[in-house]
Amino acid sequence: MAEIDRLSERIAWIDLSFVERDRTPRWAIEIGIRCHLAGMSLREVSKHLERFGIDRSHVAIHNWVHKA
């Protein structure tokens, strides 16, 4: 499977059960995790999410990646 095909599919194995509050929409957490796994830095992911109106620090994104 080509890399772009793999990244464009919905990742079913990302377990978002760690999310306790609904401060950040689950779709945004999933996008943040996918972007970081695709090679973006945590700060780049943070800036990318700002385009969607999601203001989260690189530390918050780090926590998502390690908890998922």
pLDDT tens sequence across 29-65:
999 999 999 999 999 999 999 999 999 999 999 999 9
Q: Of 11-15, 21-25, 32-36, which has the strongest mean pLDDT? A: 32-36
pLDDT of residue 17 exceeding 90: no
Residue 14: inside a domain, yes or no?
no
Residue 42: inside a domain, yes or no?
yes
Residue 40: inside a domain, yes or no?
yes
* Cα–Cα dist 36/40, whole Å: 5
Which domain does 51 fall in, by range?
24-68
Residue 35: inside a domain, yes or no?
yes
Number of domain units in the chain:
1
pLDDT of residue 61: 94
- What is the mean pLDDT of the segment spanning 12-36? 83
Residue 4: inside a domain, yes or no?
no
43: three-class secondary structure by DSSP: helix
Residue 62: inside a domain, yes or no?
yes
pTM for the model: 0.74
Residue 10: inside a domain, yes or no?
no
